[in-house]
């Protein structure tokens, strides 16, 4: 499959569902890591890569409302991201992922993870290309919408590329499927009655 069937260059304007950003900074409150400090402290977590999983229509409506400086009911308070890791370091840094699990991850057959093929130089806004990536759906975070646009405006974060339809929707539907799973008090294992 050609990468051009999966990715396109990021465009000006609204952020998009399935858009890959690099260098986005999350401000994280740390509580209780130092018993001598009464107040929580704020640390900056820079994500080498992050992908937007907020719905495309909401992102477009938000951007349009911000441009018109009206319609605040359509503005988003925050944008939902998944942390993204280079597949090579993801695989080597996880002792719990054996070869059979990794094979299922690489083919997107494991509900917790999403594998993203590399982005070629010509589809990367930085013209550097992006290696194979992996997403752990347990590693998600939100940032205030105005902060995301501010970081992009100040070149602190960079829009790299976006996934095209149906790949963007596939990613998001898999993410929300994982988030909506239901834990059972016990697994089904009883033999069927005759």
**Inside any domain, residue 193:** no
pLDDT at 54 over 80: yes
Q: Is residue 24 part of a domain?
A: yes
User: For residue 186, what pLDDT is reported?
Assistant: 85
Domain-located, residue 113: no
In a domain, 192, yes or no: no
Q: What does pLDDT average to over the chain?
A: 91
Other CB atoms within 10 Å distance of the CB of residue 35: 6
Q: Is residue 109 part of a domain?
A: no
Burial 151-179 (b: 16+ CB within 10 A, else e): bbeeeebbbbbbbeeebbeebbebbeebe
Specify the pLDDT at position 1. Answer: 60
Strand 49-52 to 19-22 pairing: antiparallel
pLDDT of the residue at 16: 97
For the ranges 98-112, 129-143, 164-178, 179-193, which has the lowest average pLDDT? 179-193
**According to the model, what pLDDT value does residue 41 have?**
84
Q: What's the pLDDT score for residue 40?
A: 79
Asked if the model's pLDDT at residue 75 lies above 80, the reply is yes
| Cα gap 37→5, rounded to integer Å | 52
Name which of 79-83, 108-112, 132-136, 182-186 the model is least confident about: 182-186
Residue 62 contacts residue 54 (beta carbons within 8 Å)? no
Q: What are phi and psi of 98, to 5 degrees?
A: -85, 175
Say what the pLDDT of residue 4 is. Answer: 76
Domains held by the chain: number:
1
pLDDT category of residue 116 using cuts at 50, 70 and 90: very high
Domain that holds residue 124: 8-87+119-130+137-179
pLDDT tens digits for range 140-162: 999 999 999 999 999 999 999 99
Q: Is residue 101 part of a domain?
A: no
Q: Is residue 57 part of a domain?
A: yes
Q: Is 160 part of a structural domain of the chain? A: yes
Share of residues in the chain with pLDDT > 90 (%): 73
Selection from 129, 23, 30, 42 nearest residue 84 by Cα: 23
């Amino acid at each position: 499959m050609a990468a051009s069937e999966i990715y396109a260059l990021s465009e000006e304007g609204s952020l998009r569902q399935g858009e890959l950003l690099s260098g986005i900074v999350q401000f994280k409150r740390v509580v209780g890591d130092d018993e001598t400090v009464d107040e929580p402290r704020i640390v900056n977590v820079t994500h080498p890569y992050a992908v937007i999983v907020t719905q495309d229509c909401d992102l477009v409506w938000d951007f349009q409302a911000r441009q018109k400086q009206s319609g605040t009911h359509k503005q988003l308070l925050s944008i939902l991201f998944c942390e993204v890791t280079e597949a090579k370091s993801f695989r080597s840094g996880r002792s719990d992922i054996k070869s059979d699990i990794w094979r299922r991850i690489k083919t997107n057959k494991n509900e917790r993870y999403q594998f993203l093929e590399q982005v070629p130089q010509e589809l990367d806004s930085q013209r550097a290309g992006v290696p194979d990536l992996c997403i752990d759906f347990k590693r998600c975070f939100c940032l205030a919408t105005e902060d995301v646009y501010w970081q992009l405006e100040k070149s602190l974060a960079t829009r790299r590329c976006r996934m095209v339809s149906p790949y963007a929707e596939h990613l998001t539907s898999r993410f929300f499927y994982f988030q909506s799973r239901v834990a059972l008090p016990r697994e089904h294992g009883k033999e069927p009655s005759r």
